Amino acid sequence: MTDTLQSVTLNINDAIYVVQVEPRYTLADVIRSQCGLTGTHVGCEHGVCGACTILLDGEPVRACLVFAVQAEGMAIRTVESLSTGDDLHPLQSAFIKHHALQCGFCTPGFLMLLTGALEKDANLSDEELRDVLSSNLCRCTGYQNIIKAARAAADEMRQVACPEPHET
Amino acid sequence: MLIANQDSATIIGRPVQRLEDPPLVRGEGRFADDISFPGQLYMRVVRSPVPHGRLIGISIGDALACPGVSAVWTAADIADIPPIDFRDTRVESLVPYRQPVLARDRVRYVGEPVAVVFANDPYLAEDAADRVIVEIDELEVLMSADDVGEFSEGRTTEPMVVRQSYGDVDAALANAHRVIELDLYVGRHSGVPLETRGAIARYDKHNDILELHGAAKVPHRNREQLARMLNRSLSAIHLFESHVGGGFGVRGELYPEDVLVCVAALRFERPIKWIEDRREHLIATNHSREQRHLIKAAVDEAGRILAVDDVFFHDQGAYVRTHGARVLEMVSGMLLGPYNVPAYRVAGHYRLTNKTPAATYRSPGRYEGTFVRERLMDAIAAALSIDRVDIRRRNLIPKTAMPYARELKALGDEVVLDSGDYDGLLHKALDRAGWAKLQKDVGDQRRAGQMVGLGFSMFVEKSGLGPKDGVVITINPDGAIEVVTGGASLGQGFETVIAQICAGTLGCEYHRIKVVHGQTSRIEHGIGAHATRATVMTGSATREAALILREKVLDIASRLLQTDREQLTILNGLVMRGNEPKGPTLALAEIASRFASEADHASAGVSAEGWFHTEHMNYPYGVHIAQVRIDPLSYAVCVEKYFIAYDVGRAVNPMLIEGQLVGGFAQGLGGALYEEFLYDARGEPLSVTFADYLIPTAYEIPFVDILLTEDAPSPRNPLGIKGAGEGGVNGVGAAIASAIDDALHAPGTIRALPVTPARLHDAILSNTAVSAHGKKSTPMTTATGVPDRPMSKEGR
């Protein structure tokens, strides 16, 4: 098998990783085991649960359904890119504030799903948000608080993107 | 990041943010698959493709020749390892039905481990596992617990019947105004956490210590069991719990894979890593719930229950697992819920089939029992034309009767309901939901042509299983406070709750507390986290330890501040004179530092150990109310509104309790409408992906309105706490069934869960058929034969 290894250059969170992969290696496995970024979780390996959701050129994608070789030349973003030190992304803060996680296993996938969706359109309606969120599975929370957190973060991200004019 | 108000004086009872969250939202959690050790081998399990058969031979040559493969084992390689034993009550009659770690001469379900491959890469291990050739002589399968077959020579597939009774049931049945009979079925479903199982074993040869990482739920108990199985002393095995991606009863049991990684780590003297994939999870991790109940109630003219007689059949699957007969014991001991029942008889038939073995799943025995009991209450109401609310009110145990001894046992414990105001909570729940307005609104919707209905269920949960738990709290000289417990975290917020209790009792800030759990190397004793016992037992032990520690701190502070200790208080980590908050203060760090130097061991700090003992469990209770709409074309059921009223005795963190209740509801709804492990007639599992086994998404879950009450604190612990882990799931199947009946104007239509569109369609057709023959369309008042039980998707 090892003779099928090939060198692939991945751009993950603005860092370059040169990895040796077989064509069959999933991007999720390579991100985790070779790049050491274990925040991307593998929950089903058949594209249903969404725990491994990452952003590929800004689009939320199941990393278990992509081969690492396919991701060469694309901008990959994982949950590790969201915060800098203690400075959390609005979605991360909202998830904590609204108790939108329990075991936390599905959380990185939800955060990346929402990051991708809200960066594209922070004006999603409640119904549109629910529609986006129904892409991923959570077994602990019953989604109620994830929806609340997503709403709160969307509102905050919209404020940041286009702050309301101050009254003078 | 943490909310501003974390005053230690009022920290117990406040919805403060979780200590667990920051690393988890950053992707810095350490789940099982995030744990790796240099030089590790990856284990891959070869599983039986056949539900029942004689194992003729296993050919491993091709697999051994694969690149990267170190070894392939079959049962012969681990002949010295005994079957996996009971973790709790040993039941002699079940002993021959325990599961071997690898199948020996028979396979009994699709997914049963028959061999394992060890390789230096997970992809290569999987490649090699595909090359193991298993030769099996197929035997006839037994796929329903309605039937009894032969398990092995001289042994049937029914090793035991769990029986309990009191009062004269036969006389009550003979003399009753009416006898109501039902035939009910709860489908096979389970916890299915988002993180699959994982186990990583490492052998530290120099110190002769075997380590098992990826432990969950009950690390101390599993350590004892592993020590027995591997013939090692307790001090030579340690289990390490890290982050756990959901448990729900199934994760953290001792499974064949846990034993295999340990044995291999010892033999190869290399770390062994095993991570389950999702297909494996759905056929190898404990299933749960599947039961058929034939229940009868004798009632008087007013609908008062005179007796309940239940015979049920529990589909255990292929083997007995660690829990033995506990699910059946819980069904039989808790079936009666909040009602007064003068005479009762139950017989639970423990039956094996050729399916994945079953055990506990969140609210085990109660989700099933509540569905059965509340269907019965609705049937009594329909038969006597009494309102569904009234029939319950007439039968509830009154508040004045507490404590109320049931003359029954559950989990080996006498069921003595400790406190409760069931009627009071029913009132509050109906008020909160606006029951009268809901009925009016539903009437309006119906006139507009919609199929909508309301339903509800009442139940009693249990929590705080004893007998004891102990905790050690230490204030380090640098001020860091550590609580060491043998409890476990499955994601429920254990660290936060324990920190709140410690902070509130000791008088320090909760976010400065580190709660250590699930590490057998840190504390000798531990009860883990199961049976909704962590907050009650570990929480109460934490309080005891904090009280003792507080006394020690005040002793020292009283000397240093030259003040009577009665005048001192501890608030937010500072000791001060009670009435002079601006006077001299002493930080806990200073006290710990002083104590350490006086005690002549400079780094130790000041610590205390506390224990909590209890003789009985306690009993929280709840009411669920559902409003559903049926799509007349697809027969899909949509939950429009849902209310949960739950009395938790005392809420340590209401936000986390609400989280538990809503999360539990979502799981309960899965079991009520979507989730089911199906098999075809030949025993082939059909629910092996998330496309077949349907977990509810954000789309299916409505907003859940929660009323959390503290009307009946438990007299069995000083804080009055009752557990909240299982109250969200318990009543869902029952409430949804009741609401669907109501939407159809046909009480008794729903006799089986989950109510899939196909099952609902069939149930409606059979109602119509009954009506067409001129009979009453309330089939619940007669025995109705076998509920529809799909064996194949085609059949649905």
What does pLDDT average to over chain B? 93
- pLDDT at position B296 over 90: yes
- pLDDT at position B719 over 50: yes
DSSP B715-775: TTSTT-----SSHHHHTHHHHHHHHHHHHHT-TT---EES--HHHHHHHHHHHHHHHHTT-
What is the dihedral angle through the alpha carbons of B164, B166, B170, B174, rounded to the nearest 10 degrees? -130
- pLDDT at position B782 over 60: no
- pLDDT at position B786 over 90: no
- Positive or negative CA dihedral for A144, B689, B105, B101? negative
A24/B701 touch (CB, cutoff 8 Å), yes or no: no
Over residues B424-436, the pLDDT tens digits come to 999 999 999 999 9
- Give the pLDDT score at B777: 41
B224-228, B398-402, B576-580, B670-674: least confident range: B576-580
- All structural domains of chain B, each given as residue ranges with its CATH number in brackets, are 8-30+465-613 (3.30.365.10), 32-140+196-244+251-284 (3.90.1170.50), 291-464+617-781 (3.30.365.10)
Of the segments A17-21, B520-524, B792-796, which one has the largest average pLDDT value? A17-21
- pLDDT at position B771 over 80: no
Which pLDDT band, with edges at 50, 70 and 90, does B769 fall under? confident
A-proximal residues of B, 703-732, CB under 8 Å: 703-704, 728
- Give the pLDDT score at B662: 98
Over residues B457-474, the pLDDT tens digits come to 999 999 988 889 999 999
- pLDDT at position B533 over 90: no
Residue B324 contacts A where some CB pair is shorter than 8 Å: no
Task: Among B278, B493, B691, select the one facing A102 at the smallest CB separation.
Answer: B493
Residues 6+ apart with CB under 8 A from B275: B32, B33, B122, B196, B197, B198
Task: Among B28, B655, B704, select the one facing A142 at the smallest CB separation.
Answer: B704
Q: How far apart are CA A12 and CA A2, in angstroms?
A: 24
CATH numeric code, A90-161: 1.10.150.120
Query: Which H, E and C letters describe B426-484, residue by residue?
Result: HHHHHHHHCHHHHHHHHHHHHHCCCEEEEEEEEEECCECCCCEEEEEEEECCCCCEEEE
Instruction: Determine the residue of chain B that is closest to A83 in CA distance.
Output: B26
**Better-scored residue on pLDDT, B704 or B782:** B704
Per-residue exposure over B438-467, b if at least 16 CB sit within 10 Å of its own CB, e if not = beebbeebeeeebbbbbbbbbbbbbbbbbe
- For A51, A138, A154, B255, the CA distances from A124, given in Å and listed in that order, are 22, 21, 8, 45
- Give the pLDDT score at A2: 52
Instruction: Select the residue from A3, A139, A146, A147 to test the B interface by mutation, using most B Cβ atoms within 10 A.
Output: A139
- Give the pLDDT score at B785: 36
Residue B65 contacts A where some CB pair is shorter than 8 Å: no
A-proximal residues of B, 191-210, CB under 8 Å: 191-196
Beta strands in B521-651 (DSSP E): 568-571, 574-577, 585-587, 606-613, 621-630, 637-647
Q: How far apart are CA B454 and CA B742, in angstroms?
A: 6
B655/A44 touch (CB, cutoff 8 Å), yes or no: no
- Positive or negative CA dihedral for B82, B106, B274, A141? negative
- Give the pLDDT score at A163: 61
> Angle between the B366-384 and B326-334 helix axes, to the nearest 10 degrees?
30
Instruction: Determine the residue of chain B that is closest to A90 in CA distance.
Output: B25
Which pLDDT band, with edges at 50, 70 and 90, does B2 fall under? very low
Chain A residues whose beta carbon lies within 8 Å of the beta carbon of residue B28 = 39
| Fold match between domain A2-80 and domain A90-161 | no
Over residues B607-647, the pLDDT tens digits come to 999 999 998 999 999 999 999 999 999 999 999 999 999 99
Q: Region B510-539: what's the mean pLDDT? A: 90
Tell how strand B468-475 and strand B606-613 pair up: antiparallel
Q: Which helix (H) or strand (E) holds B538?
A: none
Q: Region A115-119: what's the mean pLDDT? A: 97
Chain A residues whose beta carbon lies within 8 Å of the beta carbon of residue B18 = 96, 99
Q: How far apart are CA B637 and CA B702, in angstroms?
A: 12
The Cα of B758 is separated from the nearest Cα of chain A by a number of Å equal to 23
Of the segments A163-167, B345-349, B519-523, which one has the largest average pLDDT value? B345-349
Task: Among A39, A96, A101, select the one facing B1 at the smallest CB separation.
Answer: A96
Task: List the domain boundaries for chain A.
Answer: 2-80, 90-161
The Cα of A73 is separated from the nearest Cα of chain B by a number of Å equal to 24
- Give the pLDDT score at B791: 38
B31/A95 touch (CB, cutoff 8 Å), yes or no: no
A104/B196 touch (CB, cutoff 8 Å), yes or no: no
- pLDDT at position A168 over 60: no
Q: What are the backbone angles phi and psi of residue B557, rounded to the nearest 5°?
A: -65, -35
Task: Among B17, B491, B691, select the one facing A97 at the smallest CB separation.
Answer: B17
**Better-scored residue on pLDDT, B4 or B703:** B703
The identity of residue B699, as a single letter, is Y
Residue B644 contacts A where some CB pair is shorter than 8 Å: no
- Give the pLDDT score at A167: 47
Q: Which helix (H) or strand (E) holds B185?
A: strand B178-186
Which pLDDT band, with edges at 50, 70 and 90, does B411 fall under? confident
Instruction: Select the residue from A1, A46, A105 to test the B interface by mutation, using most B Cβ atoms within 10 A.
Output: A105
Over residues B117-127, the pLDDT tens digits come to 999 999 999 99
Q: Is the ipTM of this complex over 0.85?
A: yes
Q: How far apart are CA B445 and CA B45, in angstroms?
A: 54
A54-68, A134-148, B212-226, B757-771: least confident range: B757-771
Task: Among A39, A99, A106, select the one facing B655 at the smallest CB separation.
Answer: A99
Instruction: Select the residue from B2, B16, B24, B35 to test the A interface by mutation, using most A Cβ atoms within 10 A.
Output: B24
- Give the pLDDT score at B789: 41
Whether the CB-CB separation of A44 and A83 falls below 8 Å is answered with no
* Class for the domain spanning A2-80: alpha beta
**Closest CA relative to residue B157, chosen from B141, B168, B181:** B141
- pLDDT at position B729 over 50: yes
- Give the pLDDT score at B287: 98
Over residues B569-586, the pLDDT tens digits come to 999 999 999 866 678 899
